[in-house]
Structure 1
Amino acid sequence: MIRLLLGELRADWRSWAGLVLIAAVAGLAIGIGGSFLETGIHVGGRRGTGIGGVSSMILVFSGVSAIAVTSAVTRLAVDLGRSGYARWQLSGVSPRQTAVVVLGQVVVLSLTGAAIGLGATALLASFVLRLAFQGASGGYDTTIAVVGPLTAVLVAVGVLLVALLGGLPAARRAARTPALEALRESEPRGAAMRWWRWALFAVMVAGMVAVVQAWISSAVTATPEDRSTLISQTPLIAPLLTVVIVAGGPVLYAPLLRAWTALVPAAASSAWFLARHQARYHLGRSTASITPLLTGTAMLGGLYTVTTTWGAAARSAGEPFEGLKLGQVVVLLGGPLLLAGVGAAVVVFMSNRTQAREQALLSASGATASVIVRAAVLQALIHVCTAALLSVAVIVATGLLTTAMLRPFYPAVTPHFDLGSAGFLLVAGALLTGAAVLIPVLSRLRASVATALSAV
């Protein structure tokens, strides 16, 4: 089984290389938060408490992004190998052995990426620490970040858990799917959520409502000393809402994608017909493409929505308010934004082989080069637009919840939705995703159709 595991990794490295890269970025994002926590424990005193407080914010933002993006990429990597697993079973490998080998691949590659991320954390942690406390007094600028056993454990365990979160269900599905069905269908069936996923989604929604209600109740009776602590927790709304949306992805993504794409008739153009059909059919690939953009834009727009709403309320009450500094945004959202960008690129790279065969089939069926190129770009834009709609929902909900949570402290609070920062990120994501799709499509047009169709 070990020889099969290693041999498959060597033979199909394109489908798995993306998991190592995204695991390394997730390891870096988690590692920075873990380093802040370990540094705070090592330094102690008020300075250690301040550093530890920042670590909790970093871990929440980075943890949510790592869970969403890494699990989605892992799930896609396993799903892309379904035909190979089917050939294993036809050669005598049992379904149980198939699942064990697939999970072994996930463990080996996620831990490899975690080790790379830990090394990057050791190089960057001190710089990020100085950036987080730039201009602050108390000796923060001379503090050297500690990257020790606690950080290493957090990175290894965190990356492994989020990879298994996506890899375990996909591996079980790949092992249970009949071999002939896997060879016949390029997309796994069963996008609907299972009962336990429904239960988890319901618990998370109920938990989110309970947390907000408990926060508001505490705010009504809060002492002046507790006021600043409670208000400083409002930026956590956006990542919590994001993880709720991601948890309900199977029941939210597909209906939303089908609903808004149905507004444009399929007869609008042949390229739009192909793009819409492929986006709807390849839900696994669509989910993996949507999730990174959703997490990045939702948390960026949500964070600015919270601070803008909070700032307007504070100024109306005559209190001084200092907005977000660039360094603070980089520290809190550097990991999530890096995961969003790398995740989107990784999905395109990992799906390259499947897309090459689809493109060759279209060419063999008589589709022109212009139609193939426009269909590929439109499919990427469908993913971006779906992520944008979900992000707007998170941002609007964040603004409304922030208003409700700040009302006990400020007499005049109105939501201020910051869609500009999220919109800028979406435009950048659309350009990068479009380029990542367009370049390989154009290069494959020069290749022989027979060669592309005969490739395994």
Structure 2
Amino acid sequence: MIGLWAGELRADWRSWAGLVLVTAVAGASLGIGASFLETGMHAGGRLGTGISGVSSMILVFSGVSAIGVTSAVARLAVELGRAGYARWQLSGVTPRQVAVVVLCHVIALSLIGAGLGFAATLVGAPVALRLAFDGASGGFAETSAVVGPVTALFIGCGVLLIALLGGLPAARRAALTPALEALREPEPRTRGMRWWRWMLFGLMVVGTAAAVRSWLSSGAVAMPDDRNTLISQTPLVAPLLTLVIVAGGPVLYAPLLRGWTALLPARASSSWYLARHEARYHLGRSTASITPLFTGAAMLGGLYTVTTVWGAAARAAGETFGGLEFGQVVVLLGGPLLLAGVGTAVVIFMSNRTQAREQALLSASGATDAVIVRAAVLQALIHVVTAVLLALTVIAVSAVLTVVLLAPFYEVVPYQLDLGGVGVLVGVGTLLTEAAVLIPVLARMRVSVATLLSAV
């Protein structure tokens, strides 16, 4: 078993290295919030309460991104090895042994990533604390960040549970899928969501609805002096909605992707036909590619939109509204945005071997280099557009809920969307995604088809 475990790591190191990198970034992102919590526990009093309050916001934003991106990457890492696991079974390895080896990979490598995340937290927590309370009075600026056992336990348990959220179902499916079916069908058949995923999705929907209802009910009876405390919770709307969509990804992503790509018929061009077919067929890869950009754009746009609506209402009432400070944005969204960028790059890197085989097969079937390049560019664009559509849904709903929540306190609450930051993020993400897709495609064109097919 140990030899099989080590051999799989050597053979498919791209997939497992990607999982380590993503879990390390997720661990660091969660670690900053956990460090704030531990620092608040050590400080105590009003100072500790203030620092711990900031930690809850950091953990919500970072936790949603970590759940979405890390679980998707863990699931993809297992699914990319389906053919190898099938050959194990044909060689006499039992399904139970396959599941054990795969789970050992997920557990061991996610803990390694958690350790790297803890090391990054040791460096990043003091910087984040200074940024969050830059210029603040009352002892906040003089407080030293604490990164101790609470932070370490939070990172280790959090990263492991999130990785298992995606890796455990994929490992079970890999073990139970007949070997010949796995060799014949490289992509798992779409079977919808299992009962536990439906339960999770339902709980998230009910929980989000209950939270929003509670905020609206409190706003209807709150005194004016309580409005800042109540309204300050509105930035949580975007993360909650994002988590709902991530939880229901298997039944939400695919219909949206199929729906909007159907607006342009497949006969438009051979490149579009190939790109649309690949994106629809490889739903596991598409989900892993869409989720990072979606979570980053949804929470960035949601946070800025909520702040913009609140600021417009305050200024219309003649009040002063400072808006978001740069340090606050970095502390709240630095981890999620870094995770979005790393997650997108990791998915492309992990899928490189599978894409090499598909490119070789297309060349062997008579597809020209120009068709292959255009198809790769369009497939990446399909993932970006799907992520943007999902993010815009979250941002628009966040704006509506903010307007309703502010209505009891302000006479004029204009509906506004702040998409400037999202536009920059999507633009940079699109350029990086296209570059990450194009560079390997162009490099593989210099290699003979026979060599590519024999190497995968």
Normalising by the smaller structure, the TM-score range is over 0.9
The within-5 A match list for 1:95-106 is 95-106=95-106
Q: How far did 1:270 drift?
A: 1.0
Per-residue CA deviations over 1:168-187 (Å, capped at 9, x if unaligned) read: 11011101100000011110
Q: How far did 1:6 drift?
A: 2.2
SS of the counterpart of 1:189? coil
> Could you tell which deviates more after superposition, 1-10 or 440-449?
1-10
Match of 1:110 in 2: 110
Gaps of 5+ in 2: none
Q: How far did 1:277 drift?
A: 0.5
SS of the counterpart of 1:337? helix
SS of the counterpart of 2:141? helix
Is the Cα–Cα contact under 8 Å of residues 297 and 425 in structure 2 kept in the other structure?
Answer: yes
Is the Cα–Cα contact under 8 Å of residues 306 and 398 in structure 1 kept in the other structure?
Answer: yes
Is the Cα–Cα contact under 8 Å of residues 62 and 335 in structure 1 kept in the other structure?
Answer: yes
| C-alpha separation in 2, matches of 1:159 and 1:97 | 24
| C-alpha separation in 1, matches of 2:198 and 2:51 | 37
Match of 1:383 in 2: 383
Counterpart residue identity of residue 262, structure 1: A
Counterpart residue identity of residue 31, structure 1: G
Match of 2:174 in 1: 174
Q: How far did 1:54 drift?
A: 0.7
Aligned pairs, how many? 456
Is structure 2 residue 345 aligned with structure 1 residue 340?
no
| C-alpha separation in 1, matches of 2:365 and 2:190 | 29
Counterpart residue identity of residue 327, structure 1: G
| C-alpha separation in 2, matches of 1:217 and 1:16 | 47
Match of 2:33 in 1: 33
The within-5 A match list for 1:146-225 is 146-225=146-225
Q: How far did 1:226 drift?
A: 3.2
> Could you tell which deviates more after superposition, 187-196 or 16-25?
187-196
| C-alpha separation in 1, matches of 2:428 and 2:221 | 44
Match of 1:11 in 2: 11
| C-alpha separation in 1, matches of 2:450 and 2:277 | 24
Per-residue CA deviations over 1:147-177 (Å, capped at 9, x if unaligned) read: 0000000000000010000001101110110
Counterpart residue identity of residue 164, structure 1: L
Counterpart residue identity of residue 222, structure 1: A
Is structure 2 residue 69 aligned with structure 1 residue 51?
no
Is structure 2 residue 234 aligned with structure 1 residue 234?
yes
Q: How far did 1:406 drift?
A: 1.5
* Identity score, percent: 74
SS of the counterpart of 1:142? coil
Is the Cα–Cα contact under 8 Å of residues 60 and 236 in structure 2 kept in the other structure?
Answer: yes
Q: Provide TM-score, normalisation by structure 2.
A: 0.98
Per-residue CA deviations over 1:311-332 (Å, capped at 9, x if unaligned) read: 1111222222110111111100
The within-5 A match list for 1:290-305 is 290-305=290-305
| C-alpha separation in 1, matches of 2:27 and 2:232 | 26
Is the Cα–Cα contact under 8 Å of residues 191 and 283 in structure 1 kept in the other structure?
Answer: no
Is structure 2 residue 2 aligned with structure 1 residue 2?
yes
Match of 2:359 in 1: 359
Is the Cα–Cα contact under 8 Å of residues 296 and 340 in structure 1 kept in the other structure?
Answer: yes
| C-alpha separation in 1, matches of 2:77 and 2:109 | 11
| C-alpha separation in 1, matches of 2:153 and 2:37 | 12
Is the Cα–Cα contact under 8 Å of residues 224 and 409 in structure 2 kept in the other structure?
Answer: no
| C-alpha separation in 2, matches of 1:444 and 1:63 | 37
> Could you tell which deviates more after superposition, 241-250 or 416-425?
416-425
Detail structure 1 runs of 4+ shifted over 6 Å in the superposition: none
Q: How far did 1:213 drift?
A: 1.1
| C-alpha separation in 2, matches of 1:280 and 1:305 | 32
Per-residue CA deviations over 1:319-361 (Å, capped at 9, x if unaligned) read: 2211011111110000100000000000000000000000000
SS of the counterpart of 1:140? coil
Is the Cα–Cα contact under 8 Å of residues 128 and 331 in structure 1 kept in the other structure?
Answer: yes
Match of 1:264 in 2: 264
Is the Cα–Cα contact under 8 Å of residues 96 and 175 in structure 1 kept in the other structure?
Answer: yes
Counterpart residue identity of residue 44, structure 1: G
| C-alpha separation in 1, matches of 2:225 and 2:317 | 18
Match of 1:398 in 2: 398
> Could you tell which deviates more after superposition, 408-417 or 241-250?
408-417
Counterpart residue identity of residue 282, structure 1: H
Gaps of 5+ in 1: none
Match of 2:67 in 1: 67
Going from structure 1 to structure 2, the CA distance change for 1:53 and 1:164 (only over 3 Å counts) comes to same
Match of 1:369 in 2: 369
| C-alpha separation in 1, matches of 2:257 and 2:408 | 38
Q: How far did 1:203 drift?
A: 2.6
| C-alpha separation in 2, matches of 1:340 and 1:62 | 11
Per-residue CA deviations over 1:177-209 (Å, capped at 9, x if unaligned) read: 000000111101134112332232223212211
Q: How far did 1:49 drift?
A: 1.4
Is the Cα–Cα contact under 8 Å of residues 30 and 62 in structure 1 kept in the other structure?
Answer: yes
Is structure 2 residue 420 aligned with structure 1 residue 417?
no
| C-alpha separation in 2, matches of 1:246 and 1:427 | 22
Is the Cα–Cα contact under 8 Å of residues 212 and 405 in structure 1 kept in the other structure?
Answer: no
Counterpart residue identity of residue 376, structure 1: A
> Could you tell which deviates more after superposition, 230-239 or 401-410?
401-410
Match of 1:446 in 2: 446
| C-alpha separation in 2, matches of 1:395 and 1:215 | 18
Counterpart residue identity of residue 205, structure 1: V
